[in-house]
Amino acid sequence: MGLQYRVKKVNLDLYKRKVEGYKVQFVNQPIIMEDNLVEYISRSAHIPRSMVRACTMAIADAITFYVINGHRVSFGKFGKFHLKVENTCVDTPEECLADTVKRTTLCFTPSTDVKKVLDKASLIEYEELSEE
């Protein structure tokens, strides 16, 4: 099994010129819901589902708590979480206030181990079913 992709036609704005091109787009499979994830972890780690659910909720709460309080959070071999802020550029430091913030985003940076797994994953072109 590999990462499935399809080729998508796109219109690019290249040097103020409209250009048609093609690019790879990953095929999104259905979202894995929390219950499915808990079940998978429970089976692979031989831990009761209730304990897995409690742990995942506690981990999410802890990451949220620390990130909101200004920390970067390293989650071992999985990766790191941190906040990113997008704001309006102003002329003076005095104008740089909380109301210039447009958006705050929780960012995730995968670990080197996760990146290695992704680098080794094969790419497979997605075969769409024809409607005959």
Confidence at residue 10, expressed as pLDDT on a 0 to 100 scale: 86
Quote the Cα angle for 121-49-74, to 5°: 50
Confidence at residue 66, expressed as pLDDT on a 0 to 100 scale: 97
Residues of the chain with pLDDT under 70: 1, 129-132
In whole angstroms, what is the distance from residue 119 CA to residue 2 CA? 11
Helix (H) or strand (E) holding 100: none
Confidence at residue 28, expressed as pLDDT on a 0 to 100 scale: 87
Confidence at residue 105, expressed as pLDDT on a 0 to 100 scale: 94
Of the candidates 118, 42, 52, 50, the residue with the CA atom closest to the CA atom of residue 79: 118
